[in-house]
């Protein structure tokens, strides 16, 4: 029997949001039974503020950190409109607390969710797959500046040893980051050193922007092995050590993602199998997925592949995704 029988649309949405929060590691509590010591992250329903009750207030390490504005599913297309309402609660004073404005703000129907980090220089909402884990928000708070703010303070590129095309590509990419653009395309001629260029800007993102982990996505095992070799031999022009002496590089050959890996190299097939919790035959990584039986077996040749949330690979697992050579087979699946 459906669990949402006789429930109104607002309650159905909140039940979905509760489930999402629980799966992301939050303890969902009612305002009448609040225990902030129960776990690292606590989401309190209908917490009272001086602007009225907020749908959810998120506490991390017993301190308020964010809010969720819940809306019924048929208002999903209007979530950008209710950002002002969310901001009002984020800036409100919470009952019993003399808090500063809360920086992490979500709007959600349980099906569509948007997120804004108000620590950013130019805060802008974006669609997210799920809610972030309490541990992630705790790490963000400890770092102080947001990733977007850290990108603004990256030093000028040391051009020594770089080709003109590589210099232009990296400078333009970092200019795009500083303009708060979520996507960028680097187009370079064959033989211009695209993977070397990628290793250079990945190194700069790790060193100067303090990126946590970067995904380097390819479409065949062979390309993954080539990328791994490039990172192993890459030596930045401002350090005498090789890249792999400075940062941990992991080429994924199973579902295990090491907690201390800072660059993960994976095929689209491997990552999909991890997100779906499925085993992957090694032969599936040999060929371009757009030309192989692997993609056809999924029956998603013309549209993005849907996946379910998994706590092992949450939405915040990677700060950046680098798609090698922007193969259409990968882009079409992940756009």
Residue 283: what pLDDT? 81
Q: Which of 115, 143, 171 is the last residue of a domain?
A: 143
Residue in 277, 24, 80, 104 with CA at minimum distance from that of residue 16: 24
User: Each residue of 191-228: pLDDT tens digit?
Assistant: 889 999 999 999 999 999 999 999 999 989 999 999 99
Domain end call among 143, 172, 187 = 143
Q: Which domain holds residue 44?
A: 9-143
Among positive and negative, which fits the CA dihedral 227, 231, 235, 236? positive
Q: Is residue 66's pLDDT more than 90? A: yes
- Assess whether 283 and 324 both reside in one domain: yes
CB-based contacts of 105, cutoff 8 Å, min separation 6: 66, 67, 68, 69, 83, 86, 87, 90, 115, 116, 118
How many distinct structural domains can be found in the chain? 2
CATH, residue 64? 3.90.1570.30
- Kindly state whether residue 128 falls inside one of the protein's structural domains: yes
Q: What is the pLDDT of residues 259-318, one digit of tens each?
A: 999 999 999 889 988 888 888 887 888 877 665 555 555 544 455 566 678 888 899 999
């Amino acid at each position: 029997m459906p669990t949402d029988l006789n429930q109104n649309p607002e309650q159905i949405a909140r039940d979905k949001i509760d489930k999402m929060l629980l799966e992301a590691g939050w303890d969902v509590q009612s305002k009448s039974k609040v225990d902030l010591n129960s776990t690292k992250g606590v989401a309190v329903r209908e917490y009272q503020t001086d602007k009225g009750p907020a749908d959810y207030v998120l506490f991390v390490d017993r301190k308020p950190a964010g809010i969720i504005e819940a809306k019924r599913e048929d208002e999903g297309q209007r979530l950008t409109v209710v950002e002002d309402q969310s901001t009002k609660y984020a800036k409100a004073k919470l009952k019993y607390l003399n808090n500063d404005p809360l920086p992490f703000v979500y709007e959600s129907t349980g099906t569509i969710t948007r997120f804004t980090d108000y620590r950013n220089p130019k805060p802008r909402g974006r669609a997210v797959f799920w809610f972030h884990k309490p541990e992630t928000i705790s790490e963000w708070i400890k770092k102080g500046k947001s990733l977007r703010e850290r990108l603004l303070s990256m030093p000028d590129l040391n051009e020594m040893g770089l080709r003109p095309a590589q210099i232009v590509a990296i400078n333009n990419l970092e200019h795009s980051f500083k303009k708060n653009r979520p996507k960028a395309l680097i187009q370079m001629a064959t033989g211009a050193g695209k993977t070397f260029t990628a290793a250079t800007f990945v190194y700069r993102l790790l060193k100067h922007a303090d990126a946590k982990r970067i995904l380097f996505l390819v479409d065949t095992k062979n390309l993954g092995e080539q990328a791994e070799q490039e990172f192993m031999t890459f030596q930045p022009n401002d350090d005498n050590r090789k890249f792999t002496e400075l940062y941990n590089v992991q080429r994924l050959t199973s579902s295990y993602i090491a907690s201390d890996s800072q660059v993960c190299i994976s095929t689209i097939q491997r990552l999909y199998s991890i997100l779906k919790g499925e085993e992957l035959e090694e032969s599936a990584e040999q060929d371009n997925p757009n030309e192989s039986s692997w993609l056809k077996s999924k029956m998603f040749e013309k549209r993005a592949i849907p996946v379910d949330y998994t706590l092992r690979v949450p939405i915040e697992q990677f700060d950046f995704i680098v798609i090698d050579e922007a193969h259409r087979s990968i882009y079409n699946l992940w756009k």
